[in-house]
A and B are shown apart, each in its own frame.
Chain A
Amino acid sequence: MQKEYTITVYTEDRIGITSRITVIFTRRGINITSLTTAETEIPGVYKFIITVLSEKEKLVKIVGQIERLIEIHRAFVHEEDEVVYQELALYKISTKALQNGNIELLIRENNARILTITEDYFVLEKTGHQQELIDLQAKLAPYGLIEYSKSGRVAIIKWSRRFHDHLKELETQRPDNLKQATYKEHTEVSAEEESI
């Protein structure tokens, strides 16, 4: 059954890594619904957070093929309850709308905040899950919504502590000691942690 999944990929910092990852989804005809990437707390290690609408079985295979890439450390598929996640949206609205008392209520109720106000427009910011952001967009539409922009997902894996330790170890240990570090060890980490 199709469901929304979050995929996290830990990579080296290298030109073209995005293409290398996305082409694997392309091959299987899977549409990426959002993609966010930034450096992690470990210098030189990047984290991709990808959301897709697909089936878990397919995604497990895709993640295997992503991990096969030379510059990938690990990749995971997460069910919704395995990650804490957030998205962010900006809404540009005509300043005239502020004269309407209802919009103030809407901003308060949604925990949105105003980033800037000019003579013509103001910009609202809201973080939350996708549906909340979309709902607010719908509610703002009657007030003269000029532009709306939503980010991809950022996510924290609930069981990720030991994996991050492992990556940090990679940084500090001598490469020679690590030649034998294995798939199995990685798998154990994720399997154990997943059960917590």
Chain B
Amino acid sequence: MQQKDVLPMKPEPAEKRTAATAPLNMTGSEAVIRSLIAEGVETIFGYPGGAIMPIYDALYDFQQEVHHILVRHEQGATHAAQGYARSSGKTGVVFATSGPGATNLVTGLADAYMDSTPMVCITGQVAAHLLGTDAFQETDVIGITMPITKWNIQVTRPEDIPGAIAKAFYIAGSGRPGPVLVDITRNAQVAKFDFEYKKCDYIRSYRPVPRLDLEAVEAAAELINSAKKPYIFCGHGVLLSGAEKELIELAEKAGIPIASTLLGLSAVPVDHPNYVGYLGMHGNYAPNIMTNECDVLIAVGMRFDDRITGDVSQYVKQAKVIHVEIDAAEINKIIKADVAVHADAKTALEALLALVKPAKHDEWIQSFREADKQEIEKVSTKELYPTEGGLKMAEVVRLISERTEGKAILVTDVGQHQMVASRYYRFKDPNTNITSGGMGTMGFALPAAMGAKVGAPEKEVVAVIGDGCFQMTLQELGTIYQSEIGVKIVILNNNFLGMVRQWQQLFFDKRYSSTEMTNPDFVQIAKGFFIPGRKVTDRADIVAAVDEMISHNGAYLLEVVVEKEDNVFPMVPSGQPIANIRLE
């Protein structure tokens, strides 16, 4: 008879186990975990299932080294990993099983690919001998994810695991970052081999860091030095390369106004004297129209998305365009560059700074401020400081911005609330704006916010979410509760799919086809997950409610019922020239 008090064998202490100098015989699954540890991974977002169970079993021995966060849906894991990557600067890691687990990653992979977010997804796969036989939970995840990953690979032998993971991290994080998927068959997870880990820093067919072309930098400097109306566009690439300081220095030295793309937001503090606002379909009025006034456009780490350019045939025709971009495929894709600086933003800006002469263009910057007046008068003041009618999204965002002093990480979902929050939150610090830009993935914010909080626990993280978006991934409240993630959730509830409704009003004769929502009691839902919350419908209560939310230690849900049929302005109607921007 066995004694009752015999404990299962304790895992060896971590220090002994992680020393990866001499080859150790182990299973492929243990090798997966040790490879991740060697890459400095501390957090994994995932969901177990049949084909990845051996890896989860190996993970059980490394709970001190690696923190696994059990999400409620694999899509949530991908967005959490994205939020984590964007707030921490590290590569986000996701675990999922084969078949449905893997297919549930598709939206997040596509989102991360569009928004250049470093992420490594590890999926379990059926045993190699079953591949292609329509085995239970078998999907061709490599085929499915090929066009939406920077790279993917299927591993069918344990000895290929460390190399594949090393390459995955190198590819995901270098050059223009992006998502990578490693699919590991079950037999490779359970078979044993001699483990040795070597980080990857070279792939002969891959050039993540272009060498700076000094001639191009000189040509760019020459254009800037002779410009009367130079204009900088700050894109996501500035944040990704950590070039905020260099960009601001350049703008200050040469007296250049800076506008930001949606994903470039937070690189430049909103109150910086050279900052003129945010570009795009629902961006600010002045920075949009001034695009067609400048004489030299310096686009840094951005890709001229159609939501920024509108009709390209009437876009920035008058100016010389300098395009600083790390991804050669983006250069000349939409807008022909007069000077292409194919380089990492920081490297390029450092070199440019040395060659640019001090200059002032006060009158030019002032012309932005003049144009601003129209927007302030026709839009912003009414939105930010209303005195009557229903609550406005903008005033809620303003209060959050004031209460957090612009220092919180703002995570937004997709739609009207996203555009309003991006317009009115007064960002102070870099990497505090997390949103789904290229894909426009509804349901992004809640899981991304929890990832962002895990990646930057010292920061206040506020997710601003629409009532439609929230219901796409609200099950992640379970993750927030279980893993005690202190995110602040603000639902701006207009009981409509607001952006679609706005388009229906403006372009479809107010035929509100399937956009009105009969919503549940969001505060009760939060309560069901043991998350406190409050619902506000009156202007009189909103200041106290925002304060209560921010003061609360831990997760909190604030539902604000806002004006039902409100529109976001300014607006450049889709596909039209930016000159057609509407203020009302």
Please list the residues of chain A having a beta carbon within 8 angstroms of any beta carbon in chain B. 11-12, 15-16, 19-20, 23, 27, 60-61, 64-65, 67-68, 70-73, 170, 175-176, 178-185
- In the bound complex, residues from chain A placing their C-beta under 8 Å from that of B7 are none
Q: Cβ of B333 < 8 Å from any Cβ of A? A: yes
Closest B residue to A24 by beta carbon equals B147
Cβ-defined contact, A12 with B205, below 8 A: yes
- In the bound complex, residues from chain A placing their C-beta under 8 Å from that of B342 are 183-184
Can you pick out 11 interface pairs between chain A and chain B where the beta carbons lie within 8 Å of each other? A11-B205, A19-B146, A23-B146, A60-B332, A70-B151, A70-B203, A70-B206, A73-B204, A178-B202, A179-B201, A184-B342
Cβ-defined contact, A175 with B211, below 8 A: no
Cβ-defined contact, A16 with B142, below 8 A: yes
Q: Cβ of B13 < 8 Å from any Cβ of A? A: no
Beyond A11-B205, A61-B332, A68-B327, list 7 extra A-B contacts (CB 8 Å): A16-B146, A23-B146, A170-B204, A175-B204, A178-B202, A181-B211, A182-B211
Instruction: Point out the residue from B151, B202, B327, B333 that lies within 8 Å of A176, measured CB to CB.
Output: B202
- In the bound complex, residues from chain B placing their C-beta under 8 Å from that of A15 are 154
Q: Cβ of B4 < 8 Å from any Cβ of A? A: no
- In the bound complex, residues from chain A placing their C-beta under 8 Å from that of B328 are 64, 67-68, 183
Rounded to whole angstroms, the CA-CA distance of A171 and B342 in the bound complex is: 26
Interface code B131-151, partner A: CB below 8 Å = 1, 0 otherwise?
000000000001100110011
If A16-B146, A182-B210 touch, does A67 touch B329 (CB 8 Å cutoff)? yes
Cβ-defined contact, B213 with A184, below 8 A: yes
- In the bound complex, residues from chain B placing their C-beta under 8 Å from that of A71 are 205-206
Cβ-defined contact, A182 with B207, below 8 A: yes
Tell me, rounded to whole Å, the shortest Cβ–Cβ distance linking B184 to chain A: 15
Q: Cβ of B209 < 8 Å from any Cβ of A? A: yes
Q: Cβ of B109 < 8 Å from any Cβ of A? A: no
Rounded to whole angstroms, the CA-CA distance of A131 and B45 in the bound complex is: 57
Scoring B204, B210, B329, B332 by chain A CB atoms within 10 A of each residue's CB, the highest score goes to: B204
If A16-B146, A19-B143, A23-B147 touch, does A68 touch B207 (CB 8 Å cutoff)? no
Closest B residue to A182 by beta carbon equals B211
- In the bound complex, residues from chain B placing their C-beta under 8 Å from that of A73 are 204-205
Rounded to whole angstroms, the CA-CA distance of A61 and B154 in the bound complex is: 29
Q: Cβ of B70 < 8 Å from any Cβ of A? A: no
Closest B residue to A73 by beta carbon equals B205
Rounded to whole angstroms, the CA-CA distance of A85 and B465 in the bound complex is: 58
- In the bound complex, residues from chain A placing their C-beta under 8 Å from that of B349 are none
Rounded to whole angstroms, the CA-CA distance of A64 and B202 in the bound complex is: 21
Cβ-defined contact, B211 with A27, below 8 A: no
Tell me, rounded to whole Å, the shortest Cβ–Cβ distance linking B121 to chain A: 16
- In the bound complex, residues from chain B placing their C-beta under 8 Å from that of A70 are 150-151, 171, 203, 205-206
Rounded to whole angstroms, the CA-CA distance of A185 and B342 in the bound complex is: 12
Tell me, rounded to whole Å, the shortest Cβ–Cβ distance linking B167 to chain A: 8
If A67-B329, A182-B211, A183-B342 touch, does A20 touch B204 (CB 8 Å cutoff)? no
- In the bound complex, residues from chain B placing their C-beta under 8 Å from that of A60 are 332
Rounded to whole angstroms, the CA-CA distance of A71 and B203 in the bound complex is: 8
- In the bound complex, residues from chain A placing their C-beta under 8 Å from that of B203 are 70
Tell me, rounded to whole Å, the shortest Cβ–Cβ distance linking B378 to chain A: 39
Interface code B146-160, partner A: CB below 8 Å = 1, 0 otherwise?
110011001000000
Cβ-defined contact, B329 with A65, below 8 A: yes
Closest B residue to A72 by beta carbon equals B205
CB-contacts of B198-224 with A (<8 A): 201-207, 209-211, 213
Rounded to whole angstroms, the CA-CA distance of A182 and B343 in the bound complex is: 10
CB-contacts of B466-500 with A (<8 A): none
Tell me, rounded to whole Å, the shortest Cβ–Cβ distance linking B46 to chain A: 24
Scoring A20, A70, A170, A181 by chain B CB atoms within 10 A of each residue's CB, the highest score goes to: A70
Tell me, rounded to whole Å, the shortest Cβ–Cβ distance linking A26 to chain B: 9
- In the bound complex, residues from chain B placing their C-beta under 8 Å from that of A178 are 202, 204
Tell me, rounded to whole Å, the shortest Cβ–Cβ distance linking A189 to chain B: 14
Closest B residue to A185 by beta carbon equals B211
- In the bound complex, residues from chain A placing their C-beta under 8 Å from that of B204 are 12, 73, 170, 175, 178
Rounded to whole angstroms, the CA-CA distance of A55 and B332 in the bound complex is: 16
Instruction: Point out the residue from A19, A23, A61, A67 that lies within 8 Å of B333, measured CB to CB.
Output: A61
Closest A residue to B329 by beta carbon equals A64
Rounded to whole angstroms, the CA-CA distance of A182 and B210 in the bound complex is: 5
If A23-B146, A70-B150 touch, does A180 touch B329 (CB 8 Å cutoff)? no
Rounded to whole angstroms, the CA-CA distance of A15 and B140 in the bound complex is: 13
Tell me, rounded to whole Å, the shortest Cβ–Cβ distance linking B332 to chain A: 8
- In the bound complex, residues from chain B placing their C-beta under 8 Å from that of A183 are 207, 210-211, 328, 342
- In the bound complex, residues from chain B placing their C-beta under 8 Å from that of A170 are 204
Cβ-defined contact, A20 with B206, below 8 A: no
Cβ-defined contact, B207 with A181, below 8 A: yes
- In the bound complex, residues from chain B placing their C-beta under 8 Å from that of A65 are 329
Rounded to whole angstroms, the CA-CA distance of A20 and B151 in the bound complex is: 10
Rounded to whole angstroms, the CA-CA distance of A38 and B348 in the bound complex is: 39
Cβ-defined contact, A179 with B209, below 8 A: yes
Rounded to whole angstroms, the CA-CA distance of A181 and B209 in the bound complex is: 9
Rounded to whole angstroms, the CA-CA distance of A166 and B342 in the bound complex is: 21
Cβ-defined contact, B146 with A184, below 8 A: no
Closest A residue to B214 by beta carbon equals A184
- In the bound complex, residues from chain A placing their C-beta under 8 Å from that of B333 are 61, 64
- In the bound complex, residues from chain B placing their C-beta under 8 Å from that of A181 are 207, 211
- In the bound complex, residues from chain B placing their C-beta under 8 Å from that of A179 are 201-202, 209
Closest A residue to B170 by beta carbon equals A70
Closest A residue to B327 by beta carbon equals A68
- In the bound complex, residues from chain B placing their C-beta under 8 Å from that of A20 are 146
- In the bound complex, residues from chain A placing their C-beta under 8 Å from that of B207 are 181-183
Rounded to whole angstroms, the CA-CA distance of A79 and B251 in the bound complex is: 43
Cβ-defined contact, A175 with B206, below 8 A: no
Rounded to whole angstroms, the CA-CA distance of A11 and B202 in the bound complex is: 16
- In the bound complex, residues from chain B placing their C-beta under 8 Å from that of A19 are 143, 146
- In the bound complex, residues from chain B placing their C-beta under 8 Å from that of A68 are 327-329
- In the bound complex, residues from chain A placing their C-beta under 8 Å from that of B332 are 60-61
Rounded to whole angstroms, the CA-CA distance of A27 and B332 in the bound complex is: 19
Scoring B146, B154, B207, B331 by chain A CB atoms within 10 A of each residue's CB, the highest score goes to: B207
Rounded to whole angstroms, the CA-CA distance of A61 and B151 in the bound complex is: 20
